Amino acid sequence: MPTGPYAEIPRVDAYEKVRGRAIYGTDNNPSGVAYGAFVTATIGRGRITAMDLSEAQSIDGVRLIVNHEHTSDLQPARFIMQHGFAFQSYSPVLTPNVAYRGQPVALVVADTLESAIEAASRIRVSYEEHPFAATLDSERAEPVPQAEAATAWPIDDIVVGDAETVYADAAVKVDATYTMPTQHQNPMELIGTVAAWDGDHLTVYEGTQNAGACKFGLAEQLGIPPENVTVISPYTGGGFGQKNTMQSQQVLTAFAARELGRPVKVVVPRRQTFHDSSFRPATRQRVRLAADSAGRFTAALYDVDAQTSMHDFFQSEHADTAARHYGYGAFRSFTRLVRTDTPTPGYMRAPFEHATAFAIESAVDELAYEHGMDPVQIRLLNDTDTDIVDGLPHSSRHVSECLRRGAELFGWDRRTPEPRSMVAQNGDLIGMGVAIGLYAGSGGPNRASVRATRDGIIEISLGVHEMGQGIRTAIANVVARHLNVAPESVTAILGDTRGVPQMLTAGSWGSASSIPAAEAVCEALREALDALGTNAPEGASPAEILALADHDELSVEAATFAPGQNRDALGEIDTGHVAPSGPVYPDFITYSYAAHFVEVRVEQTTRRIRVPRVVSVFDCGRVLSPRTARSQAIGGVVWGVGGALREAGEVDPRYGGVLNADMAEYLVPVNADIGSIEVGFIDEPDPMVNRSGVKGLGEVVLVGVAPAITNAIYHATGVRARHLPVRIEDLV
Amino acid sequence: MSDDRKRTIEKRPWSITRRAVLASGSAVGALAAFGLKTPAMAQETTPAAPAAFLPRVLVSFAVNGVTQDIDLDPRTSLLDALRETIGLTGTKKGCDHGQCGACTVHVDGRRVASCLTLAAQVADREITTIEGLGDDEALHPMQQAFIDHDALQCGYCTPGQIMAAVACVHEGHAGSEAEIREYMSGNICRCGAYPGIVAAIRNAAQVMEG
């Protein structure tokens, strides 16, 4: 079995996608489908006192109006981080309560979408209004120390050494607070559900990262056996964490379809996705960082305030990553969760690490300037082989190599350190900045089955979802290598509960969980083929061996686990739960790494910021699919540009909700915002974390881009941005 | 470049807008004024009634060379007519506000946001969607270039990107990378495939222009 770098193959589903033939959840139109539209709350918090449906009911084509008076038999959703299935424990429309502005209060179903929308607009709702806290800074917001928060999996503050004392006595130090607003995932595919009943069996078509949770969660909420639910999600039109669990509309759509006895489709409008799904919580991070005279980090104090909702504790993992950026002599974190009257925040791509890197890597840059040291050199100096928190070795940590290779590709040696010292011919200020990023190398259990036929079909079923990251291509590449077949002959059944149990695809553990299982099941197939005793020549394909043995087909199954896990973990994914392990394993710790080098140009009079050039190098373990990995890495850098310079949910604390809840006002990067992005990979397999040597890529690619940009802005202008996004007015 | 954009708007061969129809109080009147076929029953409605019965309209247009005679609610967008009535789901809904470009189709060869276009507006016009851009025998050069440059990830914005990209070349706006970036900025790709999209358009433009 060859073990070297993987060959570059084209994206296996690109053909279907460029022809418009890839079928996404709400592309499905079962016969007789009816359409749903939501009525949403127009108050910040309170209770419905009356709902006048008369006008809406008179609209031609209206078939059903679902509100809290009809849903008493439905069970509320349970929060995924309390061992449930949903992005939050709060279920709109199941009670007369309003927990936040914009939550659904009724669902109208009609023969046409147009009638449903009109009828929804004609429902008159009366409310009793209650006071609320819309933002981190609201007077009624409630901070709770995270270590005291009642949760299924508590997270303690981190204490290594006596950081307070070391910091107090240090010669060189920085003390700065960094803030970030709420941000919204905004995958291009809207959240939506098509629900169709056949007798007592429910089939749901949905773009999701977690078909397993949808299956078991719907069964629980509807009070039916899980085996009566099928969830089909072969393609997800972008997830970025928004679609990692059950959404509010799912149970309501399924309920309406059951009531009506006909299929129902609900596509949640973009504005409503801002108001009733997860988002990146607003944060306030204070970093106190000290160094000795040589530039070694002797102490770091890290205080985090992270937003959560009133109904759930969305736990912060900011400090876990912060403690692993460098080999600090001492470290102490203190995290508070700040409760607000909003949906529960969630796992938007690099949910904590993007914010953590902004704070830590900005502080490191500030310290480097305080110390008069080169920003690359100070990072190399403070790299570490050992995890300061658990005292375990890193299974692989090539961040210094990422820095060195990136610096060379970028031409870091051309940089003059003084702020405002580099000016382009047209007068633009040039800035060059660097930052590193890291992301936990997690893994989980996965089941796999494969069927090989004499006709050359290789059909593999794995517990993972394709959402653009290219997992179908990686699977085809791996299976092709292990079975000696062409990648095109491999069909993968993913995101489909009719196959093996579907685990949540998130946390950059999709490949690290499913690829070892793919390898194991290929190995099992090889053994089963060998057992046929055909004496087939070395390198024969399964089809050739089956022909020699006069067998039509052969199917085998396998299961794999992350280090330290056993078969108990399968019980979790078999029941729709999530069972990741890592980054702290029994004998080592695993992270993926990034080093980003950014050039900015700041126009002197307008202060317009452009990012013409980025060079990024990644250590993600073995690269399974070079082409799709490169695209994913480039996309992560684009996300970083958005995170640093564009994206912010605007909230008016007097009213709640999100003011800029559409694609014109919530600014994400467009084509004209993006310049040259060069990415590279270390492509060294991790020797310990799993048999495939895979860590993870989807999130680390974004981590550190934002501080590399703000550090470059400081270099260009001398202005230190401690709040994202950085806009023109911040540099005037 | 902004001058070019202005001219593009002025040259648009129709002037009725979705907003005008919706705001007219009587959709029938607006559509009739626009020369559309309306069923006879439409004349019997009372426009002033608050929850007025809405008429249906019969609209005929060609999609990928096939004539479609459809009976629909006059408020139906071209996007919803394509996806929900005709069953061509390659065209995607990303915002329904003309802000993201996922729904881009060609109307008489010009790129439009089908979510901001009423189906009734395109009577007697030729619509091309992603399904009509290439066939089983041969992909359109732009489709092939998107594969070759991996100009996509999740694929949801891809049909709109490709339709916009073909139009971008036909408009003569693919002369440089900077020009392509500017003229493709109405199509958001949240996966961030922009560098691949620009490379694909550069490449396809050469093939298309022979």
pLDDT tens string B130-172: 999 999 999 999 999 999 999 999 999 999 999 999 999 999 9
**Is the Cβ of B176 closer than 8 Å to some Cβ of chain A?**
no
Contacting residues of A for B1, CB less than 8 Å apart: none
**pLDDT per residue as tens digits for the range A387-444:** 999 999 999 999 999 999 999 999 999 999 999 999 999 999 999 999 999 999 999 9
CB-CB contact of A284 with A304 (8 Å)? yes
d(CA A60, CA A110): 8
Does A410 reach chain B within 8 Å, measured CB to CB?
no
**Can you read off the two tokens belonging to residue A85?**
């299935």
By the CB < 8 Å criterion, does A664 face chain B? yes
Residues 422-451 of A with CB under 8 A from B: none
Please tell me whether the peptide bond between A725 and the residue prior to it is cis, using omega within 30 degrees of 0: yes
- Calculate ∠ Cα A372-A724-A345, nearest 5°: 130
Answer whether B55 touches A (CB < 8 Å): no
Do A648 and B170 contact (CB within 8 A), yes or no? Answer: no
Q: Give the span between the Cα atoms of A405 and A594, in whole angstroms.
A: 11
Residue in A642, A590, A592 with CA at minimum distance from that of residue A614: A642
Work out the pLDDT band at A3, boundaries 50, 70, 90.
confident
Nearest residue of chain A to residue B85 (CA atoms): A29
B188/A60 Cβ within 8 A? no
- In a mutational test of the B interface, the residue from A12, A18, A117 whose CB has the highest number of chain B CBs within 10 Å is A18
Tokens describing residue B149: 């440059």
pLDDT band at B9 (very low <50, low <70, confident <90, very high): very low
Question: What is the pLDDT, as a whole number, of residue B210?
Answer: 82
The answer to whether domain A25-131+187-239+243-275 and domain A143-183+280-441+586-731 are alike in fold is: yes
Phi, psi dihedrals of residue A628, rounded to the nearest 5°: -70, -30
- E strands, A538-643, are 553-560, 591-602, 609-619
Q: Match domain A143-183+280-441+586-731 to its CATH number in 2.40.50.140, 3.40.1350.10, 3.40.50.11890, 3.30.365.10.
A: 3.30.365.10
Per-residue confidence at A1, pLDDT binned at 50, 70, 90? low
Report yes or no: A274 and A668 within 8 Å, Cβ to Cβ: no
In angstroms, what is the C-alpha Rg of chain B? 18
Q: Of B150, B155, B192, which is closest to A235 when you measure between CB atoms? A: B155
A356, containing H or E segment: helix A353-371
From chain A, the residues in CB contact with B134 under 8 A are: 19
Cα–chain-centroid distance for residue B153?
Answer: 22
pLDDT tens figures, A292-301: 999 999 999 9
The answer regarding whether domain A442-574 maps to CATH 3.30.365.10 reads: yes
pLDDT tens for A432-444 read: 999 999 999 999 9
Query: Which among B76, B139, B191 has CB closest to A635?
Result: B191
Q: Are A319 and A304 in contact (CB under 8 A)?
A: yes
Give the pLDDT band of residue B2 (cuts 50, 70, 90).
Answer: very low
Q: Where are the domains of chain A?
A: 25-131+187-239+243-275, 143-183+280-441+586-731, 442-574
What DSSP assignment string belongs to A106-138?
EEEEESSHHHHHHHHHT-EEEEEE-----STT-
Asked if residue A455 has pLDDT above 80, the reply is: yes
Q: Is B194 on the interface with A (CB under 8 A)?
A: yes
Q: Could you give the CA distance from residue A730 to residue A518 in angstroms, rounded to a whole number?
A: 50
Residue A630 CA from chain centroid, whole number: 18
User: Quick one: pLDDT band at residue B26, thresholds 50, 70, 90?
Assistant: very low
Q: Is A523 a residue of the active site?
A: no
What whole-number percentage of chain B has pLDDT above 70? 74
Interface residue B85 vs chain A (CB under 8 A): no
Whether the CB of A60 is below 8 Å from some CB of chain B: the reply is yes
Confidence of residue B48 (pLDDT cuts 50, 70, 90): very low
Interface test with A, best of B76, B77, B116, B191 (most A CBs within 10 A): B191
What pLDDT, on the 0 to 100 scale, is given for residue B15? 37
> What pLDDT does residue B35 have?
39
According to the model, what pLDDT value does residue B55 have?
81
pTM for this model (two decimals): 0.94
Segment A460-474 mean pLDDT: 98
Q: Which residue from A443, A490, A485 is spatially nearest to A464, judged by alpha carbons?
A: A443
Does residue A22 sit at the B interface (CB-CB below 8 Å)?
yes
Spatial neighbors of A292 by CB under 8 A, at least 6 apart, are A170, A171, A172, A298
Do the chains contact at A112 and B182, CB–CB below 8 Å?
Answer: no
Chain B residue with Cα closest to A191: B94
Contacting B residues, span 30-49, partner chain A, CB-CB under 8 Å: none
Q: Rounded to an integer, what distance in angstroms lies between the CA atom of residue A205 and that of residue A495?
A: 10
The residue behind tokens 């069972």 is A579
Q: Do B187 and A671 touch (CB under 8 A)?
A: yes
On whether any CB of chain B is under 8 Å from the CB of A348, the answer is: no
Q: Tell me the C-alpha distance between A467 and A233, whole Å.
A: 10
pLDDT beyond 90 at B51:
no
- In a 13 Å sphere around the CA of A647, the CA atoms on its Cβ side amount to 27
* Nearest residue in B to A56, CA atom: B51
Catalytic residue (one of A16, A189, A699, A729):
A699
- Tell if the CB–CB gap between B94 and A189 is shorter than 8 Å: yes
Taking contacts as CB-CB distances below 8 angstroms, the residues of chain A near B76 are 112-114
Q: Which residue has the tokens 């399964």?
A: A542
Would the pLDDT of B30 be above 70? no
Residues of A whose CB is below 8 A from B53: 60
| A509-516: average pLDDT | 97
What pLDDT score does A399 carry? 98
**pLDDT tens digits, one per residue of A612-646:** 999 999 999 999 999 999 999 999 999 999 999 99
Distance from CA of A359 to the nearest CA of B (A): 24
- B-chain CB neighbours of A469 within 8 Å are 153
| Residues of chain A contacting residue B163, judged by C-beta atoms under 8 Å apart | none
A632 touches chain B (CB under 8 A): yes
Q: Is A52 on the interface with B (CB under 8 A)?
A: no
Q: B152 and A269 in contact by Cβ < 8 A?
A: no
Pairing of strands A104-110, A34-40: antiparallel
Determine, for residues B153 and A628 on separate chains, whether the beta-carbon distance falls below 8 Å.
Answer: yes
Name A517's bridge partners. none
Of the residues B86, B150, B183, B203, the best mutation for testing chain A's interface (the one with the most A CB atoms within 10 Å of its CB) is: B150
Give the domains, in start order, of chain B with CATH numbers: 14-132 (3.10.20.30), 141-208 (1.10.150.120)
Q: Of the candidates B96, B102, B153, which has its C-beta nearest A635's C-beta? A: B153
**ipTM surpassing 0.95:** yes
A712 touches A597 (CB < 8 A)? no
Q: What architecture is the A25-131+187-239+243-275 domain classified under in CATH?
A: 2-Layer Sandwich (3.30)
The pLDDT of residue B31 is above 80: no
**Interchain contact B104–A (C-beta under 8 A):** no
Contacts with B95 from chain A: Cβ below 8 Å: 270, 662-663
Measure the CA–CA gap between A365 and A68, rounded to whole angstroms: 53
**Looking at CA atoms only, how far is residue A482 from chain B in angstroms?**
25
> How far lies A687's CA from each of A323, A397, A589, A725, in Å?
23, 11, 12, 39
- Given a contact cutoff of 8 angstroms between Cβ atoms, the answer to whether A98 and A45 are in contact is yes
